């Protein structure tokens, strides 16, 4: 092509925008992060979220007994929005050259960055999950997100666990259901499918024992999804959709009808996350729950101050374009991903 003109640049930028939007839409259809992470719009650099912990309960007061007054307990978590983005720069001569490589390079960048805008929240969620036991990655109760000693509330010593590992009943004595803690949950192919189902049932039984912050009433947690790495795909599908499972001799042998059992667990289609290939020997699985009374924030939060966008020049005049020797485009956004309620996400380790 000849010299770069304002009208050509304008048309070219319009095409870049279309490419980016198409790729964003294509990749979004195959992402799973929105099932487990709630998006919260933000209007400031820092977002302070109050987590209200329900402690209310009705008690019998006999004949004209005095009424007890209760306080609604709250915790505050601060999320600071962070800048995220990427840029692309190209010399004007590369766009003017007849071989067209400059145009191809710019178009490819627009395609790639459009897809990555869609993938960004999922990448943040994967980091939260992988580092949930690492020091400094804390829940609002002051301990690491995946921990065996989450507090029900600050003024009580009672705890619960949202990570299953080690020996059974090894959680602190303050756990309200210490005797029911199952320890490590082996679901991979090192055990038979019926044993894996039994292990999963133990984890669910413990989860359903978790109380409300009043330490009396159940929280009514229900499992909704299992997900893990590619090696766990066949096993997770079996555990969430099998009609019959071969049983070990100790269980009577033969084939056992488990369809009703699995349906009662309430799982939807498992998520196979390629990002967890090789993570913790390919044997760790995550279990996501919901409450019968819906949570407004969920197990993870994606705070979005500014959605991703690609800056463009628009319609320039000949003088402006003539002074430019390089053209550059910026993809920018402001957001942050963080931990939510620890009783809605559980880590199932094999050891």
In this prediction, residues 242-264 reach a mean pLDDT of 58
- 136 domain residue, yes or no: yes
* pLDDT tier, 314 (very low <50, low <70, confident <90, very high otherwise): low
Q: Please report the pLDDT score of residue 54 as a whole number.
A: 57
Query: Is a pLDDT exceeding 90 seen at residue 79?
Result: no
Identify the CA nearest to 205 among candidates 261, 259, 255: 261
Q: Please report the pLDDT score of residue 319 as a whole number.
A: 64
Burial code (b: 16+ CB inside 10 Å, e: under 16) for 281-299 equals ebbbbbbbbbbeeeeebbb
Say how far apart CA 66 and CA 76 lie, in whole Å: 32
Say how far apart CA 168 and CA 185 lie, in whole Å: 10
Say how far apart CA 88 and CA 156 lie, in whole Å: 54
Q: Please report the pLDDT score of residue 254 as a whole number.
A: 43
Q: Please report the pLDDT score of residue 33 as a whole number.
A: 94
- Helix 101-130 with 6-28: angle, nearest 10 deg: 30
Query: Is a pLDDT exceeding 70 seen at residue 191?
Result: yes
CB-CB contact of 341 with 51 (8 Å): yes
Q: Please report the pLDDT score of residue 209 as a whole number.
A: 93
CB-CB contact of 218 with 291 (8 Å): no
- 144 domain residue, yes or no: yes
Q: Please report the pLDDT score of residue 305 as a whole number.
A: 93
- 210 domain residue, yes or no: yes
- Distances in Å between the Cα of 49 and the Cα atoms of 41, 197, 250 are 12, 38, 51
- 59 domain residue, yes or no: no
Max alpha carbon distance in the chain (Å)? 94
Edge-to-edge order in the sheet of strand 37-41: 37-41, 300-310, 326-339, 82-91
* pLDDT tier, 62 (very low <50, low <70, confident <90, very high otherwise): very low
Can you give the three-state secondary structure of 94-163, one letter per residue? HHHCCCCHHHHHHHHHHHHHHHHHHHHHHHHHHHHHHCCCCCCCECCCCCECCCCCEECCCCCCCEECCE
- Distances in Å between the Cα of 272 and the Cα atoms of 30, 33, 233, 234 are 11, 12, 6, 10
Query: Is a pLDDT exceeding 70 seen at residue 248?
Result: no
Whole-number mean pLDDT of the chain?
81
Looking at the 3D structure of the chain, how many domains does it have?
A: 1
CA-based angle 318:323:324, to the nearest 5?
100
In this prediction, residues 216-229 reach a mean pLDDT of 91
Q: Please report the pLDDT score of residue 176 as a whole number.
A: 80
Give the lowest-confidence range in 3-7, 300-304, 329-333: 3-7
- Helix 233-241 with 193-208: angle, nearest 10 deg: 70
Own/partner pairs for 261-268, CB < 8 Å, 24+ apart?
261/197, 261/201, 262/197, 265/200, 265/201, 265/204, 265/223, 265/240, 266/222, 266/223, 266/224, 267/223, 267/224, 267/225, 267/226, 267/239, 267/240, 268/224, 268/225, 268/240
* pLDDT tier, 196 (very low <50, low <70, confident <90, very high otherwise): very high
CB-CB contact of 107 with 19 (8 Å): yes
Q: Which domain holds residue 19?
A: 1-54+74-351
Query: Is a pLDDT exceeding 70 seen at residue 210?
Result: yes
- 67 domain residue, yes or no: no
Give the lowest-confidence range in 59-63, 98-102, 162-166: 59-63
Strand partners, 46: 80
- 61 domain residue, yes or no: no
- Distances in Å between the Cα of 32 and the Cα atoms of 122, 146, 248, 275, 336 are 7, 21, 35, 12, 18
- 25 domain residue, yes or no: yes
Q: What is the pTM of this model?
A: 0.81
DSSP 8-state secondary structure symbol assigned to residue 6: H
* pLDDT tier, 72 (very low <50, low <70, confident <90, very high otherwise): low
- 60 domain residue, yes or no: no
Identify the CA nearest to 299 among candidates 28, 35, 50, 30: 35
Q: Please report the pLDDT score of residue 30 as a whole number.
A: 80
């Amino acid at each position: 092509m000849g010299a770069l003109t304002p009208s050509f640049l304008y048309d070219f930028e319009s095409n870049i925008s279309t490419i980016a939007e198409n790729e964003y839409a294509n990749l979004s259809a195959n992402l799973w992060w929105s099932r487990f992470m709630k998006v919260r719009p933000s209007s400031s650099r820092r977002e302070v979220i109050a987590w209200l912990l329900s402690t209310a309960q009705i008690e019998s007061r006999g004949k004209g007994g005095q009424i007890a007054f209760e306080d609604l307990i709250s915790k505050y978590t601060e999320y600071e929005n962070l800048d995220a983005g990427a840029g692309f720069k190209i010399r004007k001569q590369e766009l003017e050259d007849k071989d067209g490589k400059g145009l191809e390079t710019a178009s490819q960048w627009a395609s790639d960055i459009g897809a990555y805008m869609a993938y960004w929240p999922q990448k943040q969620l994967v980091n939260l999950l992988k580092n949930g036991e690492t020091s400094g990655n804390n829940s609002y109760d002051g301990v690491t997100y995946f921990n065996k000693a989450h507090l029900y509330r600050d003024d009580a010593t009672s705890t619960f666990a949202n990570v299953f590992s080690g020996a059974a009943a090894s959680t602190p004595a303050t756990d309200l259901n210490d005797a029911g803690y199952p320890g490590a949950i082996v679901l991979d192919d090192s055990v038979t499918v019926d044993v894996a189902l039994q292990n999963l049932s133990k984890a669910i039984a413990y989860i359903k024992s978790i109380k409300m912050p009043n330490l009396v009433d159940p929280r009514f947690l229900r499992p909704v999804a299992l997900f893990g790495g590619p090696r766990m795909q066949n096993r997770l599908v079996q555990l969430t959709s099998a009609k019959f499972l071969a049983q070990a001799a100790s269980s009577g042998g033969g084939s056992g009808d488990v369809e009703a059992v699995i349906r009662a667990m309430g799982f939807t289609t498992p998520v196979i996350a390629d990002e967890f290939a090789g993570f913790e020997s390919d044997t760790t699985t995550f279990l996501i729950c919901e409450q019968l009374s819906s949570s407004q924030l969920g197990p993870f939060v994606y705070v979005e101050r500014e959605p991703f966008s690609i800056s463009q020049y628009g319609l320039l005049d000949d003088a402006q374009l003539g002074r430019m020797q390089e053209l550059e485009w910026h993809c920018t956004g402001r957001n942050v991903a963080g931990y939510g309620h620890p009783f809605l996400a559980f880590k199932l380790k094999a050891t």
